[in-house]
Amino acid sequence: MSLIFSSHPGIRERHLKRQYKNPLFEESLREFDEQRLSGARYMDEQEREAFIKSFHQLLEEVAHLKPNEGSEKLLELKSRLDQSYEFCSALGGVRDHEKQAIVRLVEVIMASIRQTAEGDAEAEQNLYEEELARRTHFLLLEHPLIADLLRPQSPIAKEQLVPSLLSESEAALSAALSLFDKEHIESIYQQGKELLASIPEKKGLTESEARLEQVRQYLLLE
């Protein structure tokens, strides 16, 4: 009997789903039972509850900011909000409400910081570039794979990176490749070639072969 996964799984269940009956992964990883899946769901739920609690505490801190709060405190809160967005992106369920709240709060804090930097051309330019980088980063995090890869304790082990990348959609892989330098992508391509060549039964690997070709094309543009 096939296992049924959540429609919006958390980071651990998501990685199990990525591996389930997937010939790109070792057999010990792609075959597991309901008990292991339930364990992953439980840990994901515990993580979600801990996040919600810490997030509400962070909201309280932002709500109690003084009108003339110093830039050091503002920057510290902004950094924590950015980290919260990244962490939130890896959680299970639909987290649009929390992410939208974070974006709004960051915008409020950045408005205060920009007001302080007004008239300083270099500071204004740095803030502008930081804003562009943040927007790009948040867009990348729309792909769960990016949130999984960036998690300090990622469920994707080093040796599972290539099969994970070749199991993703074209858009998710494109986003992920932007995280690596050319040398690393060359290694990913070579490992991907060797991995696909090592699988005797090629049925069902059409999409993975397309993703490997995508990596090759990406390298040609570098």
**Those residues with Cβ within 8 angstroms of residue 74's Cβ, 6 or more apart along the chain or in another chain:** 65, 109, 112, 113
Structure tokens at 173: 């892989």
Q: Check residue 1 and give its pLDDT.
A: 60
Name the residue ranges covered by the structural domains of the chain: 55-146, 157-222
Q: Check residue 177 and give its pLDDT.
A: 97
Q: Check residue 222 and give its pLDDT.
A: 74
Distance between CA 175 and CA 83 in Å, rounded? Answer: 19
Mean pLDDT of the chain: 93
pLDDT tens by residue, 110-141? 888 888 878 888 888 988 999 999 999 999 99
This prediction has a pTM of: 0.89
pLDDT tens by residue, 152-205? 999 999 999 999 999 999 999 999 999 999 999 999 999 999 999 999 887 778
Torsion angles phi and psi, residue 166, rounded to 5: -75, -5
